């Protein structure tokens, strides 16, 4: 798949490159990212280099794109979002954002752009986009809920993070689901 940048004029998504390595390393020093994302902790330059060569490049080659989240077309990385392949018509969305840019709807906008691309016939033409997050990651849950993802349950010890099993929330959005907020989430999530 060719690089496919996305933007709505407020958020810009583009393939991360070697020029972004220092910014990625700096972002991944934030403890709240390591708390909720399966990245190495501590996070070093070699981890960012491996991310580009072992995840980003093969992901784009296999229709599983990963975008850097930016506040302007040529701005620094402030987050990451991607669609990991589950099967030919399903992807799993994953994302993180540095604290300085949380709370202003930036990730919700990024999720909307990625879902639009994922479901569009000229994009990936997906039937479903799944989401999972460790129980307690309320910000991630709120962002997908605002983008039409329906709560589907919790798996006990359903994910592994740095050798520790953790309970996991699950949600999904179908190509036929509306993009607006989903209202079927349990209270408190």
The total number of residues written for the chain in this structure: 189
In a domain, 188, yes or no: no
Does a structural domain hold residue 182?
Answer: no
Coil vs helix vs strand at 159 = strand
Rounded Cα distance, 21 and 123, in Å? 27
Domain that holds residue 93: 6-174
- Alpha-helical (H) ranges within the chain are 21-27, 31-36, 45-51, 57-61, 106-119, 138-145
Tell me the C-alpha to C-alpha distance, in Å, between residue 186 and each of 122, 138, 183.
34, 12, 9
Give the pLDDT confidence of 50-109 residue by residue, as tens digits.
999 999 999 999 999 999 999 999 999 999 999 999 899 999 999 999 999 999 999 999
Nearest-10 crossing angle of helices 138-145, 106-119: 50
Residue 1 lies in a domain: no
Residue 39 has pLDDT above 90, yes or no: yes
CATH at residue 82:
3.40.630.30
Work out the pLDDT band at 116, boundaries 50, 70, 90. very high
pTM given for the model: 0.96
pLDDT in tens, 2-24: 899 999 999 999 999 999 999 99
In a domain? residue 36: yes
Q: What percent of the chain has pLDDT over 90?
A: 98
In the DSSP assignment, the letter for residue 76 is: P
| C-alpha span between 169 and 111 (Å, rounded) | 17
Number of domains in the chain: 1
């Amino acid at each position: 798949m060719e690089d496919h940048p996305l933007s709505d004029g407020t958020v810009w998504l583009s393939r991360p490159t070697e020029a972004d390595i220092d910014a990625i390393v700096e972002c991944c020093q934030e403890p709240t990212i390591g708390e909720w994302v399966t990245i190495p902790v501590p996070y070093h330059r070699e981890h960012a280099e491996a991310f580009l060569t072992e995840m980003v490049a093969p992901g784009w080659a296999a229709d599983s794109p990963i975008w850097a989240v930016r506040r302007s077309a040529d701005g620094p990385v402030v987050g990451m979002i991607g669609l990991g392949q589950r099967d030919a018509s399903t992807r799993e969305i994953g994302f993180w954002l540095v604290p300085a840019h949380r709370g202003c709807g930036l990730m919700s906008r990024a999720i909307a752009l990625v879902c639009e691309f994922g479901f569009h016939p000229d994009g990936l033409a997906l039937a479903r986009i799944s989401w999972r997050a460790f129980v307690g990651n309320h910000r991630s849950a709120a962002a997908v809920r605002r983008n039409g993802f329906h709560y589907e349950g919790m798996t006990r010890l359903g994910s592994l993070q740095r050798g520790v099993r953790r309970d996991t929330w699950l949600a999904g959005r179908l190509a036929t689901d509306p993009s607006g907020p989903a209202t079927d989430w349990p209270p408190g999530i």
